[in-house]
Amino acid sequence: MPDLGKYQDAVLSAYAVSLLALIAIIALSVWRSRAVKRQLAQIEAQLGEKPK
């Protein structure tokens, strides 16, 4: 790990916040995708079509 001197706390906390934000975005995207797929399957079932 490079020597960051007096900026170490700021740099590491910025990395941590960025990493948490990326994880949250990915988790929300996966959650929303599953919800939309579930809704689409229900609509297709109501219309009498076979879901793919």
Question: Which sequence spans correspond to the domains of the chain?
Answer: 7-47
pTM over 0.85: no
Number of alpha carbons in the 13 Å side-chain half-sphere of residue 7: 6
Interatomic CA distance for residues 25 and 38, integer angstroms = 20
Reported as a single tens digit per residue, the pLDDT across 28-45 is 999 999 999 999 999 989
**Residue 49 — very low, low, confident or very high, per pLDDT cuts 50/70/90?**
low
Average pLDDT over residues 11-21: 97
Q: What is the pLDDT of residue 50?
A: 61
